[in-house]
Each structure stands twice: as structure tokens, then as C-alpha cells.
Structure 1
């Protein structure tokens, strides 16, 4: 049960967005740009970074939702998402994505630990400066989103079908629908 009365029964961040539309707009717009806007990283790859950071933060709702969103947009589906969450170093992803996931994990734990060597390693694997920038911002934003969701003790559905339903909405309509 949420710590405050939201006036709705919506799960996770969706309930918070409905409760406070004034903040829903900018938060949804940021997610839309980071996860669905133009990028050389696929939508699935960006959702995978969000799911991975959410998993590191142990945010049940965001991990389950963004894992479903990533799985719906990656050819390898849920199996790859689960492999990355369990062992990003051994998961069958590109060396570039592996380097970006490493940066995302460093940002999640303590952003000050990202070094020039970490950035250089990502560049050596083909990451552009924009991809590195966006990875850092996705990781930082998801630390905020995760704390927002967990700090107010929002509801996280138990049924995986709920997350698959949400994934289809996000794939079809995007994040701006949350601000309506």
C-alpha cells in the first residue's frame, strides 16, 4: 500500500503520474526522449539499460516493467534480458553494449567512480559520445525513477501478464501517454 493516498489503484509510477500530472509531464517527456527518441542504440537496448539499473536498485516494479519493455523490443526477448540482469559480462550482447552496461552499473553504484578509462573502453568498442552520454543519463534517471516508485511504496503487480500488457502500451504509444 502506498505511503500516501493516490486516489487511484494504478501500479508503480503510473499511479504516481496520475496523482501528480504536473510532474508526470516532464518525467514522461524525459523517458520518451531517452528510451524512444532518435538514437543509434535501439529502443530495446535502451530499455535493457533501464531494466538493468532498476534491477541493481532492487526496484521490483521498474525492473519488471522495463524488463518486459526491453523483451518486447529485442529479437532475443526475455531470455536475453534475464541473462543481462544475471551476468552482464557473460550475456550474449555486443562488446559495445557490455561496456555501456558497465558504465550504467558504475553510475548506479556511485557515479563518481566512472573513469576516463571506462569511457575510453566504451569508445574502443564503438560507443559514440552521445551513446555514452545517454547511457549515463538513463542510469541516473532510473535511479531517480526507482527511488520515486519505492520511496512512496507503490504497488507492483505480481502477475507477469500485467507487465506484458504495459509493454504493449509503451511499444505502441510511448511514455507520453502517462502524462495525459
Structure 2
């Protein structure tokens, strides 16, 4: 691993951050044992940091018909074609842990259609990729296909929201040259 910077933009010192952001970062560090670089990179703009993580938490930590592992599948599957190294590696680690499967993230990032997942999950990822690549083409047939796999309208919203949100995240990670922490690579293996 190289000692690449966290971001091409300035990264504030922890002691210089507003209290709420510093507290959030320290809580994440306590839980995971390290500070994921996304927290440090986005701390460059505190108001945007707050908005980003508020929306992240709203779509990724909510209850519903999608499991936490399925939510991470969406992130990995849509981040791969966007060539977002940070999100594929970091969320791949989270997916491996949540799915309790050391192979699943690599399978989904490479070709989810051949991954060891259910037909329901493949339909979910088909839709997520359509939202990511060509949301303008989403139509009633997409909703009907998802309904046949047991997804309701709230599930469809969740799939779309995760795909769309991580489109933003992927683009910002690439623009900032955000690198995944070395710790992510071995997690859940």
C-alpha cells in the first residue's frame, strides 16, 4: 500500500472540526478501529458532510424489506461500473460482513449476474443498474418485474434511492481521488 493522501482537497485536522462532526468520526473510529477516509475527505465541507451522512443513514440504516446486506449489494453493483474504487472496496467489506460470505462482494463487483445470489436479488440489481445508467428509461415494466419478485413500491424507492445516492458518492470519491483504507481489504475474508 502506498501512503496516498486521503483526498486531493484539504483534509481538516480532527481538533479543528465542529463538535458534532468530530463526535461522529470518533464514534466510527471506536466502532471500527479506524477512521474510514470518506469521513475525513467529506469533513472538508461540514454542511455537506452533515447532509451526506444524514441521507446515507436514512437510506442505509432504515428498516424495510431490503436487508442490510442487500443494500450493500446495490452499492457494490452500481459502484463497480462507475469505477469507484473507494465504494467497491469499502462497501464490499461491509457486504462481506453483513452477508457472512467472503466471496460475495468480489462476485457482485465483477458480474452480479453470475454471483451466488437469488433471482430476487438479481432483479433488484438489474433495476439498480438501470437507475444508475439510464434512469430516464425506467418504466412500468420495471415495477412489474420487481413486483413479481416480491418488491413493493417502498422497496423500489429504496433501491432507486441507494443507486442514485451512491452515484453522487462515486463521483465525489473519484473527483477527490479518495482511497480506500487498507483495513477494508481484509475485512470479512
CA–CA distance in 1 between the matches of 2:50 and 2:185? 22
1:27-176 maps to which residues of 2 (within 5 A)? 27-75=52-100, 77-157=101-181, 159=182, 161-162=183-184
Q: Please tell me whether residue 21 in structure 1 is matched to residue 46 in structure 2.
A: yes
| Contact 2:42–2:49 (8 Å) recurs in 1 | yes
Q: Measure how far apart 1:13 and its partner are.
A: 2.0
SS at match of 2:122: helix
CA–CA distance in 1 between the matches of 2:79 and 2:141? 25
CA–CA distance in 2 between the matches of 1:83 and 1:25? 32
Tell me which structure has the larger Cα radius of gyration: 2
Any unmatched runs of 5+ in structure 2? 15-34
The ranges of structure 1 where at least 4 consecutive aligned residues each deviate by more than 6 angstroms after the TM superposition are: none
CA–CA distance in 2 between the matches of 1:53 and 1:162? 18
| Contact 2:9–2:41 (8 Å) recurs in 1 | no
Q: How many residues align?
A: 163
| Contact 1:12–1:62 (8 Å) recurs in 2 | no
SS at match of 1:63: helix
Quickly say closer, same or farther: Cα 1:28–1:163, change in 2 above 3 A. farther
TM-score (norm 2): 0.77
Q: Measure how far apart 1:26 and its partner are.
A: 1.6
The match for 1:3 is 8
CA–CA distance in 2 between the matches of 1:28 and 1:84? 24
Using the TM superposition, name which of 78-87 and 100-109 deviates more: 78-87
CA–CA distance in 1 between the matches of 2:129 and 2:165? 13
